[in-house]
Amino acid sequence: MKKIAIFIDFKGTELSSYTRTLLGFADTFFGSEVAYYLFSFAGPKQASIPQLKGSVIGYQINAGNSLFAETTELRKLGDQISALSIDEIWLSKSNTSDSVAGIISATLGFQIVPNIKQITQKGDSYLIQKSIFSGKATAHSELSSSHFVGIFPKGFGSDSNAASVEVNFESLDLETSKKYSIIKVDTHEGSIPLPEASIVVGAGRGMKDPGNWGIIEELAQTLHAATACSKPVSDINWRPHHEHVGQTGIKIAPKLYIACGISGAIQHLAGVNGSGKIVVINQDPEAPFFKHADYGIVGDLFDVVPRLTKILKEI
Ligand SMILES: Cc1cc2nc3c(=O)[nH]c(=O)nc-3n(C[C@H](O)[C@H](O)[C@H](O)COP(=O)(O)OP(=O)(O)OC[C@H]3O[C@@H](n4cnc5c(N)ncnc54)[C@H](O)[C@@H]3O)c2cc1C
């Protein structure tokens, strides 16, 4: 029977939506002939998860938050996973994947496969499609060893309709060298974190002045969306750097991305082309973004955006 480790993330005491969809996918993919080992950093000791057909054992890793775990701790976690004879490790793309997957795969000698768009079984092998060159191409590969660490985009799969079950998470204590400690964490209050948002409203140099962003924030608030921006806008400090999306910024994959006054340069597209639907608002009908849009509005954003917000508020 295969042993699959899945790193799961919580939002407070609830499973994150992207963990739910990844578990839903794994349940359909593996069926009942599987044992799941669920690992969480800083999650609750007991939590409800969708019922899976395979058996489930939960571990709560006591090494702080994945983002702040030391390299030595993560190596020890790799050793613990190795001792459990785990075959595969699955993660959603998140802070956890960035800081954990590399060290764990190196410790276990597992192949790491990021950006998985599709995975199917072919006998004992897997056929995997993964996104490469910032989403500009898809690589088709065959993986003959099941010893791998797979990183899936947030929202991969679909939520399970199964009833919830309570799982107790056993403590997994990793000794820490205390060479590194976090003094303070500044959180950005009041806004929806970009990587977790299912709707994002982005704006670019077409906004002309940082003082004009009120109309973007109002549209975002109306849609319960996060705000994003193009690189030049954050470079000139019109918007904070954590809002910059693109090749050199955050990569997002919301269900809906509304781009206002952004030309659609390839470097910007590299960060948003995983979006479900793209709406572009631009006064230039030749703006490259329109070629990648599901819906386009040619017009002055200072006219279009407030009207759109007004209509949405009335719905
Ligand atoms: C190595 C490298 C990495 C880069 N990485 C990134 C990255 O990660 N992310 C990123 O975004 N960029 C990145 N860039 C920059 C990128 O090439 C573009 O220069 C940038 O995305 C353009 O930003 P923009 O669309 O906001 O501005 P512009 O290109 O100036 O476009 C402004 C748009 O607003 C429209 N507009 C103007 N006024 C209005 C109005 N009133 N109503 C409606 N529309 C209006 C215009 O028609 C135009 O299309 C990178 C560049 C390089 C070289």
Residue 286 has pLDDT above 80, yes or no: yes
Supply the mean pLDDT for the chain: 90
* CA nearest neighbour of 146 among 118, 113, 101, 115: 113
Ligand 1 site, residue 284, Cβ cutoff 6 A:
yes
Ligand 1 site, residue 251, Cβ cutoff 6 A:
no
User: What pLDDT is stored for residue 65 in this prediction?
Assistant: 61
User: What pLDDT is stored for residue 217 in this prediction?
Assistant: 96
* List of long-range contacts for 115-123, beta carbons under 8 Å, 24+ apart: 115/151, 115/153, 116/150, 116/151, 116/152, 116/153, 116/156, 117/153, 119/29, 119/150, 121/29
Q: Stretch 196-204: mean pLDDT, rounded?
A: 92
Query: Which CATH number applies to 2-173?
Result: 3.40.50.620
pLDDT grade for 188, boundaries at 50, 70 and 90: low
Q: Which atom of ligand 1 is nearest to the CA of 248?
A: 8
pLDDT grade for 43, boundaries at 50, 70 and 90: confident
The string of DSSP letters for 39-96 reads EEES--SEEEEE--SSEEEEEEEESS-GGG--HHHHHHHHHHHHHTT--EEEEETTHH
295 Cα–ligand 1 center, Å = 19
Question: What pLDDT digit, counting tens, does each position of 99-156 carry?
Answer: 789 989 999 999 999 999 999 999 889 999 998 876 778 999 999 877 999 999 888 8
Q: Percent of the chain having pLDDT more than 90?
A: 66
Query: In this predicted model, which residue has the larger pLDDT, 275 or 159?
Result: 275
Hey, do 2-173 and 194-314 end up sharing a CATH topology, with the first three levels equal?
yes
Burial of 185-213, coded b for 16+ CB within 10 Å and e otherwise, reads eeeeeebbebbbbbbbbbbbebbeeeebb
Residue 162 has pLDDT above 70, yes or no: yes
Query: In this predicted model, which residue has the larger pLDDT, 151 or 177?
Result: 151
Counting ligand 1 atoms within 8 A of each CB, the residue from 267, 292, 302, 303 with the most, and so the one to mutate, is 267
- The topology under which CATH files domain 194-314 is Rossmann fold (3.40.50)
Counting ligand 1 atoms within 8 A of each CB, the residue from 282, 286, 305 with the most, and so the one to mutate, is 282
Query: In this predicted model, which residue has the larger pLDDT, 39 or 179?
Result: 39
- Break the chain into its structural domains and give their ranges: 2-173, 194-314
* CA nearest neighbour of 152 among 178, 129, 171: 129
Question: What pLDDT digit, counting tens, does each position of 3-42 carry?
Answer: 999 999 998 889 988 899 999 999 999 999 899 999 998 7
Range with lowest mean pLDDT among 63-67, 195-199, 242-246: 63-67
Ligand 1 site, residue 202, Cβ cutoff 6 A:
no
Counting ligand 1 atoms within 8 A of each CB, the residue from 207, 209, 268 with the most, and so the one to mutate, is 268
User: What pLDDT is stored for residue 296 in this prediction?
Assistant: 98
